[in-house]
Amino acid sequence: MIVHQVFFWLHQPEKDLNAVLEGCKAIAQAVSVKSYAIGKPAATEKREVIDDSYDIALMVNFESIEDHDQYQVDPIHLKFIKDHKEKWASVKIYDFEV
């Protein structure tokens, strides 16, 4: 299984947070997505090793690398990027295999 974690920092979170969260929900409809979760930073105890500076986290799970690669060109994914990329100040992605 491939876990695809995406962290978004928004230019104007107070204005755009809900729109990007709603856009993330559409990701679940992509054919190759096994499961997904969307969230905001947890209210865990502050520690030096925790980075909670992001606005939105998206985790998408795929059965295989091939499914991940299919997702990258899926029209749903590409529409999400087109509709929301101007709202992002920064995006970091971490992929790992389970």
Segment 35-85, tens digit of pLDDT: 999 999 999 999 999 999 999 999 999 999 999 999 999 999 999 999 999
- Tell me if 48 is assigned to some domain: no
Residue 58 lies in a domain: yes
Secondary structure of 15-56 as H, E, C letters? HHHHHHHHHHHHHHHCCCCCEEEEECCCCCCCCCCCCCCCCE
Model pLDDT, residue 82 = 97
Q: Indicate the angle between helix axes 75-84 and 13-26, nearest 10 degrees.
A: 170
Domain that holds residue 87: 2-42+53-97
Q: What percent of the chain has pLDDT over 90?
A: 99
User: Does some domain include residue 27?
Assistant: yes
Query: Where does the pLDDT of residue 13 fall: very low under 50, low under 70, confident under 90, or very high at 90 and above?
Result: very high
pTM of the shown model: 0.93
Rounded to the nearest integer, the mean pLDDT of the chain is 96
Number of structural domains in the chain: 1
The SS3 call for residue 31 is coil
